Structure 1
Amino acid sequence: MPEGWEMYPKSVTGDAREVVKSEDVAPYHVEIDVEAIKEQERIEMWHQVAGRWLWEGDFEISRRMVRNAVAHRRYSKEFEQLVWERCLKNSAPRKKPRVLYLVDAFLFEEERVPFHKGFDIKEDQIMQALIEHVRMNAKSGKYTSESSVNKFKI
């Protein structure tokens, strides 16, 4: 963990409504959630390491992998096509789509996407997290107009 997080007492736990940087600025009524602070520091460190292009590895994505992962979730063929297009666009200069990963997250469309922990195999963790990421962005209207989101049947 980076320097600074140890200033928070390990005995204090609970759900914090606000994450604070130091005990001095914490209002009296706020509990400090040590796990939330540790997770926030992990994410910041991940971005620092990823910003230097120091990756653990890369994962090549095939059309068949996308098809199988989308079928596992019982989403439509149209949504499968949207996921595949997003994968191609994410890996535009390369011939084969891929994502770069580091520890427990990967980079997709310039965002940190955590692995889906509901699966045992790293490839499944990446594919299911990727599909969920595309689905959430499609629902929010990032990729398409709201009227066409309904046709994806997601």
Structure 2
Amino acid sequence: MIGMLSVYNALELGSIYGIAAIGVYLTFRIIDFPDLTVNSSFTSGAAVMAVMLSNSCNFYLSIITAGAVGAASGAVTAMLNTMLNIQSLLAGIISMIGLYSINMRIMGKPNVVMSSQEVSHYLYNFTPYIIAFLVCYLLYRFFHIRNRAWYEGFW
């Protein structure tokens, strides 16, 4: 049982960090926009999801809301860069610092403790991890196609 739990935790962390690595790769290499917002937008999403799950909200609704909060933090960085003409790296740092305070405000305290019953209820729900793996795989395949049309050899 402990071995299966370790495998599950490894898949969980790999899925999460895989999406984060793709986000950093996209901003630094493809878009050429050094953005540090991803450091705090992941934490904002986690804070929103932890608060929603501890208040007995729907699991899938909390995932969608956490993604929307992450997208909103990226949009704030983009607006700082485009509308206020702040350099891209500095706009990301400003957003990262601002999100630290917002994360504390979302949680209301430094740490949200979830009961073991709440954690075990969502522990063996593999659907989000399958979706995360598919997103990572599709983005990997999409960005590693070179010198040919995007539809040739996609699969």
What TM-score, normalized to structure 1? 0.27
Largest Rg, 1 or 2: 1
**Larger RCO: 1 or 2 (CA < 8 Å, sep 6+):** 2
- Write 1 or 2 for the structure with the bigger share of helix: 2
What TM-score, normalized to structure 2? 0.26
